[in-house]
Amino acid sequence: MTTPDTPAEPLAPLRSTFGIPRIQLLSVVAVAVFTWVVGIWGAHLNATGVAIYLDAPPFKGTWRTGFTTAQWPFLFAPALLAVGVILVSVPSWWAGSVRRLRFGSVLVGAWAWSLAWTCALALTSDPPSLARPLLDPTHEYLVFARELESPRGFVSGFLENISSYPTHVRGHPPGAVLAFWGLDRLLRTDTLFALGLLVIAASAAPATLLAIRALADEAAARRAALFVGLAPAVIWIGTSADALVMATIAWSVALACMTLEGGDGPDSATGTNPRVSTPVVMSSAAGLLAGVAVTLSFGSVVLLAPLGAISVLMLLRGRFRTVAPIALGALVAPALLSAMGYNWLDGYSALREQYYAGVASERPQWFFAFSNLAAFSVAIGPAAVAGLSTLRDRRLWWLSGSALAGVALADLSAMSKGEVERIWLPAVPWVLVATASIRTTRNRRFWAVVTMGLTVLLQWKLRPAW
């Protein structure tokens, strides 16, 4: 099946001599300058003794001075070759294939490219390993989850013992540890566990495309297919358990969007549309996943903003019967934790106390209000920034706009002082929706090369803290 590119008539007067809308180029340059200024600002604060605890502002980590993985040639060389093959194949072959392949194949391809790109980049780290970032007993979940003797006892005593837990365990609801505990019993080795986590994380790419098709059309989803799994965020997806939260929220929002697929006619409103035969079931599943996300991360409350936006859209379209299952489904997972002895609100209060007992009390909010946005703009990548500057489809703004609103709330909450390249991963897929506004194959190839090139540069020069 071939889907022709939609002409970008409203943008024709804005095109540069290279065929790229000037507003896209100017937006990306402006964001790059903003990020550079924030980096200089952060370096100055470090030099003057202000405690920002970022050695590579606006990122958490340190800058590399060279190819430190050269000491691992037998593992590093194949990974580097894989990065090169993907870097060439995506802008050349995949950029054209998303227009010709059946949509089901596009979904599988978006998932596969995302997984391959994340794994290949992760294996160029030092040392090359998919599992290493998950095995830090001081900060991460996995080692702690493996030592659990009684999950129920852990949940009931969570608040009482919170001060003794690893950093990320005490910074999240107990659902995150329970998820790791369950996955570890299915995927018994370190590598299998890490690969399984990345397989789940990469599924956010097809989930995003399904949401775009449901809310707008298939042509828009095909245009975004080149970008949804390839943003620089893959650097942190490959090193962070927050990728699990990202995938959970992605499928929650996608299922909610799919209940709207098929128009606003009487058939779709009653659930008899042949393409969406069970809207109540899907909206219930969307709610259940939203509830799970809330038990995985406190930040899900604001990063689920796209689901809230879609729920409002349902009400505006008269889909009242699909909104209630979302609301009710979202209560299930928190209620289960409550039955096991954990109160979510008390947990959030304990989090604030723990958060401000640490480095957050020293980090200046006035700097991080800008630094957070700089880090996030790099995580979404140049293609997303370019797409946002030319996104005119109001249907897709329900997703991208609400995701940005959630990020703004998180930024202003003073509960996100740094490290947002990891913490805000769940918002990334919905900002990438804006890449559907990059209309021509030539433009998509250009922004794919720029985005993936930036990703390779960051992977080479930045050593994340995770």
How many Cβ atoms from other residues are within 10 Å of residue 59's Cβ?
Answer: 29
Residue 255 and residue 285 in contact, taking contact as beta carbons nearer than 8 Å: yes
Give the pLDDT confidence of 123-135 residue by residue, as tens digits.
887 666 788 888 8
Nearest Cα residue to 223 out of 459, 458, 457, 442 = 442
- Asked if residue 207 has pLDDT above 50, the reply is yes
The structure tokens listed for 181 are 């505990």
Instruction: Give the number of residues written for the chain.
Output: 466
Give the pLDDT confidence of 281-337 residue by residue, as tens digits.
999 999 999 999 999 999 999 999 999 999 999 999 998 899 999 999 999 999 999
Q: Which helix (H) or strand (E) holds 43?
A: helix 22-47
* Rounded Cα–Cα distance for residues 115 and 423 (Å): 20
Average pLDDT, the chain: 89
User: Which residues are CB-neighbours of 398 under 8 A, at least 6 positions away?
Assistant: 215, 306, 309, 310, 313
- Asked if residue 394 has pLDDT above 70, the reply is yes
pLDDT at 1: 45
The structure tokens listed for 144 are 């702690």
Nearest Cα residue to 347 out of 301, 414, 304 = 301
pLDDT at 64: 81
Angle at CA 113, nearest 5°, toward 275 and 81?
A: 170
pLDDT at 351: 87
pLDDT band at residue 67, thresholds of 50, 70 and 90? low
What are the C-alpha distances in Å from 232 to residues 235, 295, 328, 369, 375?
Answer: 6, 27, 35, 21, 11
How many Cβ atoms from other residues are within 10 Å of residue 13's Cβ?
Answer: 8
Give the pLDDT confidence of 179-193 residue by residue, as tens digits.
999 999 999 899 999
Backbone angles phi, psi at 310, to 5 degrees: -65, -35
- Asked if residue 150 has pLDDT above 70, the reply is yes
- Peptide bond between residue 127 and the one before it cis (omega within 30 degrees of 0): yes
- Name the more confident of 387 and 123: 387
- Asked if residue 77 has pLDDT above 80, the reply is no
**Quick one: CA torsion of 373, 374, 376, 381, rounded to 10 degrees?**
140
- Asked if residue 6 has pLDDT above 50, the reply is no
Backbone angles phi, psi at 55, to 5 degrees: -90, -10
* Rounded Cα–Cα distance for residues 465 and 260 (Å): 41
Residues 47-64: what's their mean pLDDT?
A: 92
User: Which residues are CB-neighbours of 322 under 8 A, at least 6 positions away?
Assistant: 256, 259, 279, 280, 282, 283, 314
Where are the chain's structural domains?
A: 9-239+342-464
pLDDT at 353: 86
pLDDT at 74: 58
Beta strands per DSSP E along 396-441 = none
pLDDT at 167: 87
Residues 6-14: what's their mean pLDDT?
A: 45
Percent of the chain with pLDDT over 90: 71
Residue 436 and residue 216 in contact, taking contact as beta carbons nearer than 8 Å: yes
Can you tell me whether residue 102 is helix, strand or coil? coil
